[in-house]
A and B are shown apart, each in its own frame.
Chain A
Amino acid sequence: MYEVRYLRPESLAEAVQLYRTTPGCRPLAGGTDLMVMLHAGTLRPQPQAVLDLWSLNELKGVRRTSDMLEIAAAEPYTGIIRSPDVQRHLPALAAAARTIGAAQIQNRGTLGGNLANASPAGDTLPVLLAYDAGVVTDRRTIPIDRFFTGYRKTALQADELITAVRFPLDRQVAFRKVGTRAAQAISKVVMAVSRNPARIAIGSVAELPLRARRAEAALERGDIAGTVAAVAEDVRPIDDVRSTAAYRRAVTQNVLRELLDAFARG
């Protein structure tokens, strides 16, 4: 591995300042994606420095206000899963977090990292889309449906740090992940659905975490059969090492039907 500088700011303010002024700097939290790429030397452009955000108190914890839940960007999945507020208000997020890796990854992986990495297979990202989450940064709040702009591309500016994610408190969201095995699997299809308002968000079926807009429009009209038919038009899966496009399209429709049936049963 080539040597990169290691920067550990003492406060969020110092982190923001360092990120703005250090060329070729990559933020680091739990390292579950970045450390792999750093060691393999596959990051382009190659970073000159890493900015370690893991220990910053300002980026830890779950905070509830009267109308929202705010999860700090470097709070690990284990903390999210154990939070009584998350269990009560965002059970779909807790369910998604439990499917990520196993204990070793849940102790290190973070929402900030999942967002910044912007993998189309990121397991929490459809959940964030279904909740209409807000991505809070050092300078603004980005609505999640405008956050992903292309394959592993985001609306973040080059020197902009994610600090938290905000969720509404009163939305019913259903979640399902289909992978090779229950634990430690990268998803073939991962989906989060809200019935009201109609949100159908899917991972691993396009170059980015996708809102299925045609299917949502059909769901808004209460046309369940039409919703399941339309979602096949919304997705654009590929054949790759983990699955085939045809399988992903079929599973997307089956999982959507299952989640909508579950809503209908209450």
Chain B
Amino acid sequence: MRFTLNGRGVSFEGSGARRLLDVLREDLGATGTKEGCGEGECGACSVLIDGEVVDSCLVAVGQVEGRGITTVEGLADGGRLTALQQAFIEHGAAQCGICTPGMLLAAHVLLQEATRLDADAVREGLAGNLCRCTGYTKIIDAVLSCTK
């Protein structure tokens, strides 16, 4: 089976029932995607499927045949970080870093979809991504700094 990973075509052989998370990390070396709870609670393994945020621990890899997957590795353009990534650095929005790839992807969708974002909307938009370090304040500040 084949799908697109960060704009590049990839192929995979094996059971389509394997978790997308495991195929990304173990078969394709895309280790930016982290495993947290493995139960769809924490959002550490968030990726985008055709632009929609999902927990990759809950997706069978067969379900992404022909689809486009974006992981945190696909956000930056070469060495150039996105405004959101730069804002995370400037606001100190990462501490241990495990939640950061998922936070970035969920926030990326939020910034693209929402017409108006305030702190409450960011909190709701990132409710599926748990952070045990920052207390969220700096993450929310970073996301809000990317709205005009």
Contact = CB atoms under 8 A, between A and B. Distances in A.
Nearest to B63: A54
A38 B39 CA distance: 11
A31 B59 contact: yes
Interface string B49-73: 0001111011110110100000000
Interface residues on A, range: 20 to 34
Interface residues of B, number: 31
A103 B15 contact: no
A101 B128 CA distance: 7
B40 A36 contact: yes
Contact of B128 (A1, A35, A102): A102
B58 A103 contact: no
Nearest to A101: B128
Nearest to B67: A55
Contacts of B62: 6, 8, 52
Interface string B6-48: 0000000001111100000000000000000011110100100
Interface of B: 15-19, 38-41, 43, 46, 52-55, 57-60, 62-63, 65, 106, 109, 124-130
26 contacts: A1-B19, A3-B17, A6-B60, A28-B60, A30-B58, A31-B60, A35-B40, A35-B57, A35-B58, A36-B40, A39-B19, A39-B57, A40-B38, A52-B16, A52-B60, A78-B52, A102-B43, A102-B126, A103-B109, A104-B43, A104-B53, A104-B128, A108-B54, A182-B127, A183-B128, A184-B128
